[in-house]
Structure 1
Amino acid sequence: MKEQPWQHQVHLTDPRALRAYAHPTRMRLVGLLRQEGPFTATRAAELTGESVASCSYHLRILAKYGLVEEADPGGAGREKPWRATAAYTDWPNYSPDPAVASAAEALNAAVAENQLHRMMRALETRHTLPEEWQRAERHSDAMLYLTPEELVALGERLDAMVAEYADRGYHPELRPEGARRVAYMHVAYVAPDGRDGDPRGEHA
């Protein structure tokens, strides 16, 4: 059975932690540790294509802010194994502190760029998927008129449905035959005034 992180999520509020996590290599290392960990800096270099020294440095920065930790305190140097401290990372959607708000916005932008990059890579190879997977994938959007309270409630409902499948990430025995890793994103933001020329139309 795959080792499960100790916490459900780690909550970042320190602006320094938010900016540290916004680095693409660090985000990738945390994601890989959640999927493949624990592993050493040497293994991290094999998975990312970065140097061992670079991975070791980034892992130490992540440990400083509580995102990863040593899996074996007795390990030595670059061969000591690291593990993620939580299954998910969370940070404020809003903060009255300008430093926190600015760092959170920078992290949001980095995450969005990373997600878009991964989605484009998936689209490039989509034609190689079996027909049932191509039909099952979803690429859709909608323009809704909601109050802040309704948007929060909608997000909570979606979170609850996604949570029904979350344990499969750390318990392979729960995965039905034919299951594959699926990146599922749901994003909601207040649309800017005016029309952006969405090719799918307002009610796609």
Structure 2
Amino acid sequence: MRPHVELTDPRALRAYAHPTRMALAGLLRREGPLTATRAAELTGESVASCSYHLRVLAKYGLVEEADPDGPGREKPWRATAQYTNWPGYSEDPAVAEAADALTLAIAENHFARLTRALESRRELSREWQEAERFTDVTLYLTPQELTDLGERMDALVAEYADRGTDPSLRPEGSRRVPYLQIAYVASESEGKAPEGERP
């Protein structure tokens, strides 16, 4: 897999914003090559739905057939890259609108997954519950400072990134941990919200 795939075509950005397609791309990145049948078992979608959405992802270079000569729906699919990048800014209104729609879809997806995790967190051991992070802070930064902070965070996270593609690097007792980095400019009219709270 390449490290990143870049989406700049508005059609590709809108295509990727579909929740089933995001789920399939993530699944292939984590689990390796899968057939549409196996993907259906893991996602709860129908085989026909997975086949269709995998073909759409392939059209825009997010997945590809691992064995093009395989029979029908038993052809394994694989992700083409570990991460998906898209523009944070574009002069092209079509690209900017599609990129914003994808960012919103990703945020909604993360919120839904976070909600499910919070609903079941009491099933985790005390060690895991205490290790989880749920905190926030408001900073006053320039655009360059925010960029620098993001790059420093990326460098820290990158120290663990190889474990995603190489299970032999995962220490005993490790689990899959989605780690979100979200920073946004608050509206000037936004009221003061509680900060630094932790359940």
Match of 1:158 in 2: 153
> Are residue 191 (structure 1) and residue 191 (structure 2) matched?
no
Taking the aligned partners of 1:63 and 1:138, their CA distance within structure 2 comes to 35
TM-score normalised by structure 1 residue count:
0.94
User: What percent identity do the matched residue pairs reach?
Assistant: 71
1:200 CA displacement: 3.0
SS of 1:69's equivalent? Answer: strand
Contact 2:138 2:195 in 1 (8 A): no
1:197 CA displacement: 4.3
Taking the aligned partners of 1:201 and 1:173, their CA distance within structure 2 comes to 36
- One-letter identity of the residue aligned with 1:161: L
- One-letter identity of the residue aligned with 1:10: V
Taking the aligned partners of 2:26 and 2:98, their CA distance within structure 1 comes to 20
Aligned residues: 197
Matches within 5 A, 1:1-204: 6-200=1-195
Taking the aligned partners of 1:132 and 1:190, their CA distance within structure 2 comes to 34
Comparing 192-201 with 57-66, greater Cα deviation is found at 192-201
User: What RMSD, in angstroms, separates the aligned Cα atoms of the two structures?
Assistant: 1.2
Taking the aligned partners of 2:170 and 2:37, their CA distance within structure 1 comes to 30
1:38 CA displacement: 0.5
- One-letter identity of the residue aligned with 2:169: L
Taking the aligned partners of 2:148 and 2:121, their CA distance within structure 1 comes to 33
Match of 1:3 in 2: none
Taking the aligned partners of 1:105 and 1:195, their CA distance within structure 2 comes to 20
Structure 1 unaligned runs (5+)?
1-5
Taking the aligned partners of 1:182 and 1:55, their CA distance within structure 2 comes to 25
1:26 CA displacement: 0.2
Contact 2:35 2:77 in 1 (8 A): yes
Post-superposition CA distance 1:111-154 (Å, at most 9, x none) = 00000000000000101111111111110111111000000000
Structure 2 unaligned runs (5+)?
none
